[in-house]
Amino acid sequence: MKILFFTLMTTVFTMGCANGNSQRTPSLITNDENSTHQQAEMKKTNKSKSTDIYFAGGCFWGTEHFFKQIRGVLTTEVGYANGKLSKAPSYEQVSTGNTGFAETVKVTYNPQLIDLNQLLDLYFKIIDPTSLNKQGNDRGTQYRTGIYYVNETEKPLIDRAIATLAAQYSKPIVVEVLPLKNFYKAEEYHQAYLDKNPQGYCHISPALFEIARKANPVKQKGFKKPSQADLRKQLTPNNTPLPKKALPSAHLPMLITTSSAKVFMWILPPANPSLSLPISSNQAVAGQVSLNLLIKNS
């Protein structure tokens, strides 16, 4: 049951089909950070490398907002899928439940950043796959669950995911898996609705949005040990490497002599003893020793 609230001047317009109690989305849930990384990924992703999949999961406001949080999802668009009409229906027509259309989210994603299996697993978290024509407080054929694919090679993968899901339930799974027959973009006020109306109705628990944000984190790049040649390039003319054979044992005092002072220093060799320890060769001024010890960790 969705309730659209629009305030224009002093008039409040209410639109949508709503029955029962509506759950509000906390105002702290924003999509600014995710929108930023989506835009950055879109710039880096060649359109030919992106893939589309269509998910029906009850009210499309919450379903879209959920998928917008996932790293690897490039764009989302809400609309009406697999209906009986040959032209775009209105929201009011779909709300009657007689058009055969399902409220659906078109998800465009980068398969190099996230794969279809991951998206399916996340989708299953926000639906009751055993509930026919009902999700949350929303009832009607337009609120049925479904996965609509455009690539026939994806069907076996989706079927396996459904079979795995079925093993977790005693009731039959009613999520329909079909090729996409048609899809019409919904009215503009439905697009990114919860971004524009943070307090708007949503049938999905706010905690699930946080799960979506954390589901596909950026992989940290491993540390690459610099080569001896690279390390030597970092040496300045006043820094000379200590020969490997001269490396002292860990935590043993080492006597360093200059022309004007004798100094004992504790030197802890790096974890990799094959690296040299560059030590400043500058002479110390009498009474003022200043040794520049540069240790490069491996």
Picking from 190, 101, 94, 202, the residue whose alpha carbon sits closest to that of residue 146 is 101
Looking at per-residue pLDDT, the higher value among 291 and 222 belongs to 222
* Residue 2: predicted pLDDT: 59
Residue 14 — pLDDT band, cuts 50, 70, 90? very low
Question: Contact at 8 Å (CB) between 176 and 147?
Answer: yes
Residue 186 — pLDDT band, cuts 50, 70, 90? very high
Q: How large is the average pLDDT for residues 77-100?
A: 98
Q: How large is the average pLDDT for residues 132-136?
A: 97
Rounded to two decimals, what is the model's pTM?
Answer: 0.66
* Residue 269: predicted pLDDT: 53
Verify whether residue 59 is a known catalytic residue.
Answer: yes
* pLDDT, tens digit, 9 for 90 and up, residues 26-38: 443 444 555 555 5
71 pLDDT more than 70: yes
* Residue 36: predicted pLDDT: 54
Residue 214 — pLDDT band, cuts 50, 70, 90? very high
Q: How large is the average pLDDT for residues 163-192?
A: 98
Q: Which residue ranges form the domains of the chain, and what is each CATH number? A: 23-214 (3.30.1060.10), 228-280 (no CATH)
Residue 143 — pLDDT band, cuts 50, 70, 90? very high
Question: Contact at 8 Å (CB) between 175 and 145?
Answer: yes
Q: Which of 53, 59, 73, 74 is catalytic?
A: 59
The CA-CA-CA angle for residues 127, 187, 18, to 5°, reads 50
Residue in this structure with the two tokens 């200590």, named with its chain if needed:
242
Residues comprising the chain, all counted: 298
Integer Cα distance of 157 and 297 in angstroms = 46
Burial class (CB in 10 A: 0-12, 13-18, 19+), 239: middle
189 pLDDT more than 80: yes
